[in-house]
């Protein structure tokens, strides 16, 4: 399989299943913590972990992590929420 095509398919899978939180959820509006809280326990999810679990039997670890780093850089996000 063409690796560039594989990268695009992996990225598409990730972005179909996870999204970048627009604003950190705060249970208490007076909370000024820098740590985001995730509504309904829906995160954080980390790209490298999720891609590795999904694709570890199909691609080498270093390739998976390379794709994860590209997603994190392109989307400017390290901690994600699940769409499911």
**pLDDT tens, position by position, 50-77:** 999 999 999 999 999 999 999 999 999 9
Residues 6+ apart with CB under 8 A from 44: 36, 38, 79, 80, 81
pTM of the predicted structure, to 2 decimals: 0.78
Strand partners, 19: 81
**Mean pLDDT, range 16-24, rounded to an integer:** 81
Tally the domains of the chain: 1
């Amino acid at each position: 399989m063409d690796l560039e095509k594989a990268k695009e398919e992996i990225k598409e899978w990730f972005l179909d299943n996870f999204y970048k939180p627009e604003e950190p959820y705060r249970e208490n509006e007076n909370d000024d913590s820098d740590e985001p809280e995730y509504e309904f326990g829906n995160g954080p999810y980390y790209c490298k972990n999720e891609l590795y679990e999904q694709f570890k039997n199909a691609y080498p670890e270093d390739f998976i992590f390379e794709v994860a780093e590209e997603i994190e850089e392109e989307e400017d996000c390290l901690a994600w929420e699940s769409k499911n």
